[in-house]
């Protein structure tokens, strides 16, 4: 990333937005990024100085006059660059289905096989940058064929088909900007700025129930939001998310709404807090604990809230959690992003926000390899003995036990009530300490990285998808603490001066939704479009961090990314969410959204 010669103290000034315009783009009515005229309103806020820190120094930044959505709420758009990357084919091993190799010898062997079949292969190396808790290392090697211009995707598709005919099945076309190497873009960045004085409410919202998903536009409409962006990372099914727990909308980690804990955090991961103790918006690493006291005085920690019992999406739970490493079970309470840890002895509490009834616990303990593709997935299997070791304790709104159901699953969740679902030793504990007509006593704590409570009656919070990006006005990333390190790394076990090795997520360019707080207390909600060679290629996490620093964030974190990235303002879609490179625009259903709602 080119060095910015402007001293940090001089990089941001507060001026009318119209004075900072370098060029103007006029879009047709209804086009993404175009808001209705705002009359004589003037936007005043924290303004970036100089060019966006994306691409080489000769790529200028363009913008358009700010739009005032409401007093204190401003929309800006920045864009720069032009297509400079190529379409290519990423070749998978024909036997194992492996795409990224940890051994250069294995990658070279596959490249030799591809060359022997009449193609010209190359081996590309992936090196992650250093951060506060990871070092810089090579994380893998990929075998690629072809370099085709941005407007010649069909050539890459034909090459992929030829490779398949030669026995190299399940390879994929991709745009080389995805690798995170030097690029000239293009980029489109959209920024919502909310002044501390704005007469709005900042909160997180979900749809009909926690286990389902709805688009950001639907969530905005239902909440009467002026502005909405996608919120939590969440359980999403599909070939690239083989750790799915089977419930499309369940948040991965923290989700708080009006001080109600609706999903427990992957302890220690970075999150966005709204209307809390630290101001209208803050970024912090969050942990929580929920305990229940039985009628007979026995106490126990609750393992989860509103999620599949026994399955800890993203890990970072409590109790006897483990993940699989090959054929071995590894005990861990460390967050591991997009990994499903397993705990056979859990108690999970279900609230009415989950849905009408409790889910049936499903044993999940093993891996299955698709012989056609080589993809590995954890398998699911209903097990009669496992079901017999489960229980649902149905309670009213005062946690008074109304019924014990000997096999969990399908229990109606009473309006205002709760259901405690137990499996294994958790079920045994509930049977031993539950008594119809008598009440449990619950208690939860939600703490920041300093160990202090962060809760207020109005607090909402969502877990970030990424590590922290900016702290104290400087780029600051903690991927290992957020479960984005290699599976062999346990940060707590490192010696003095030792660091984990980050995985290749830090390298990849994708669309990004980012949140930050300026020194003036302004909330920044930012989207960077991606996966579109003609309009915007997305950003790596280090690039996203530089953008947030440039925009004036004192603290920042990334929210959902890729096909999640969505910005809706005044019931209009402003960015271009897509699932795949070069794919059609699609508003993906989400777990929840961060919304800005005007006060009456």
Task: Note the pLDDT tens digit of each residue in 259-307.
Answer: 999 999 999 999 999 999 888 999 999 999 999 999 999 999 999 999 9
Q: Please state, in angstroms and rounded to a whole number, the distance separating the CA atoms of residues 363 and 423.
A: 10
**What is the tens place of the pLDDT at every residue in 207-255?**
999 999 999 999 999 999 999 999 998 887 644 444 555 687 899 999 9
Opening angle at CA 413, ends 410 and 415, nearest 5: 155
* 364 backbone dihedrals φ, ψ, rounded to 5°: -140, 105
pTM of the predicted protein model: 0.89
Give the separation between CA 166 and CA 169, rounded to whole angstroms: 8
- The dihedrals phi and psi of 416, each to the nearest 5 degrees, come to 75, -5
Q: Do residues 530 and 539 make contact, with C-beta atoms less than 8 angstroms apart?
A: yes
On the 0-12 / 13-18 / 19+ scale of CB atoms within 10 A, 141 is buried
| Residue 186 CB contacts under 8 Å (≥ 6 apart), including other chains | 79, 80, 81, 82, 83, 534, 535, 536, 537
Q: Which of 7, 3, 76, 66 is nearest to 39 (CA)?
A: 66
Q: Report whether 537 contacts 530 (CB < 8 A).
A: yes
Half-sphere exposure at residue 369, Cβ-oriented, CA atoms within 13 angstroms: 8
Closest by CA position to 583, among listed 489, 511, 494, 482? 511
Q: What is the pLDDT of residues 123-148, one digit of tens each?
A: 999 999 999 999 998 989 999 999 99
Report the Cα–Cα distance between both ends of the chain, in Å, rounded. Answer: 45
Per-residue pLDDT of the chain in tens (600 residues, 90 and over written 9):
333 333 333 334 333 333 333 322 222 223 344 444 443 455 556 679 899 999 999 999 999 899 999 999 999 999 999 999 999 999 999 888 899 998 999 999 999 999 999 999 999 999 999 999 999 989 899 999 999 999 999 999 999 999 999 999 999 999 999 999 999 999 999 999 999 999 999 999 999 999 999 999 999 999 999 999 999 988 876 444 445 556 878 999 999 999 999 999 999 999 999 999 888 999 999 999 999 999 999 999 999 999 999 989 899 999 889 887 655 677 888 898 878 888 989 999 999 999 999 998 876 655 444 444 444 444 444 555 666 789 999 999 999 999 999 899 999 999 999 999 999 999 999 999 999 999 999 999 999 999 999 999 999 999 988 899 999 999 999 999 998 887 667 777 777 778 888 888 888 999 999 999 999 999 999 999 999 999 999 999 999 999 999 999 999 999 989 999 999 999 999 999 999 988 899 999 999 999 999 999
Distance (Å, whole) CA 350 – CA 383: 22
């Amino acid at each position: 990333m080119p060095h910015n010669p402007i001293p940090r103290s001089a990089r941001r000034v507060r001026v009318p937005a119209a004075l900072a315009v370098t060029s103007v783009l006029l879009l047709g009515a209804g086009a993404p990024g175009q808001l209705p005229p705002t009359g004589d309103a003037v936007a005043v806020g924290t303004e970036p100085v100089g060019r966006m820190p994306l691409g080489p120094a000769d790529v200028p930044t363009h913008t358009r006059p700010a739009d005032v959505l409401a007093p204190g709420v401003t929309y800006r758009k920045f864009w720069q660059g032009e297509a400079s990357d190529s379409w290519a084919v990423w070749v998978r091993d024909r036997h194992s289905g492996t795409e990224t190799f940890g051994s250069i010898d294995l990658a070279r062997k596959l490249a030799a096989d591809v060359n022997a079949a009449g193609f010209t292969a190359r081996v590309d190396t992936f090196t992650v940058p250093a951060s506060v808790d990871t070092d810089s290392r090579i994380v893998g090697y990929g075998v690629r064929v072809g370099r085709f211009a941005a407007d010649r995707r069909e050539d890459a598709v034909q090459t992929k088909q030829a490779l398949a005919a030669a026995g190299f099945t399940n390879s994929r076309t991709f745009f080389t900007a995805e690798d995170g190497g030097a690029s000239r873009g293009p980029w489109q960045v959209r920024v919502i700025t909310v002044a501390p004085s704005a007469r709005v409410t900042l909160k997180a919202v979900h749809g009909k129930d926690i286990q389902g998903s709805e688009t950001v536009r639907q969530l905005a409409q239902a909440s009467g939001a002026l502005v909405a962006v996608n919120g939590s990372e969440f359980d999403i099914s599909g070939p690239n998310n083989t750790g799915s727990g089977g419930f499309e909308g369940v948040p991965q980690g923290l989700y708080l709404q009006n001080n109600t804990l609706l999903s427990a955090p992957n302890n220690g991961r970075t999150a966005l807090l709204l209307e809390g103790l630290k101001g209208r918006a803050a970024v912090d690493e969050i942990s929580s604990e929920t305990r229940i006291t039985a009628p007979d005085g026995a106490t126990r920690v609750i393992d989860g809230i509103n999620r599949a019992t026994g399955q800890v999406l993203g890990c970072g739970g409590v109790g006897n959690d483990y993940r699989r490493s090959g054929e071995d079970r590894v005990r861990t309470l460390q967050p591991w992003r997009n990994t499903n840890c397993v705990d056979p002895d859990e108690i999970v509490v279900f609230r009415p926000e989950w849905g009408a009834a409790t889910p049936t616990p499903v044993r999940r303990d093993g891996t299955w390899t698709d012989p056609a593709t080589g993809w590995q997935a954890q398998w699911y299997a209903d097990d009669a003995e496992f079901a017999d070791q489960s229980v649902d304790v149905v309670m009213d709104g005062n946690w008074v036990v109304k019924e014990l159901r000997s096999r969990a699953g399908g229990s109606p969740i009473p309006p205002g009530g709760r259901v405690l679902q137990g499996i294994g030793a958790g079920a045994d504990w509930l049977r031993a300490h539950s008594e119809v007509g008598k009440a449990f006593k619950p208690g939860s704590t939600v703490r920041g990285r300093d160990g202090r409570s962060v809760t207020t009656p109005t607090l909402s919070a969502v877990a970030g998808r990424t590590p922290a990006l900016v702290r104290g006005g400087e780029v600051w990333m903690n991927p290992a603490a957020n479960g984005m390190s290699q599976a062999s790394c346990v940060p707590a076990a490192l010696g003095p001066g030792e660091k984990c090795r980050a995985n290749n997520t830090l390298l990849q360019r994708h669309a990004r939704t980012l949140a930050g707080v300026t020194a003036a207390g302004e909330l920044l909600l930012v989207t960077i479009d991606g996966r579109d060679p003609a309009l915007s290629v997305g950003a790596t996490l280090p690039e996203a961090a530089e953008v947030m620093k440039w925009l004036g964030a004192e603290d920042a974190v990334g929210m959902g990314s890729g096909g999640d990235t969505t910005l809706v303002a005044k019931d209009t879609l402003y960015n271009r969410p897509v699932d795949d490179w070069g794919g059609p625009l699609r508003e993906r259903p989400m777990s929840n959204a961060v919304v800005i709602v005007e006060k009456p």
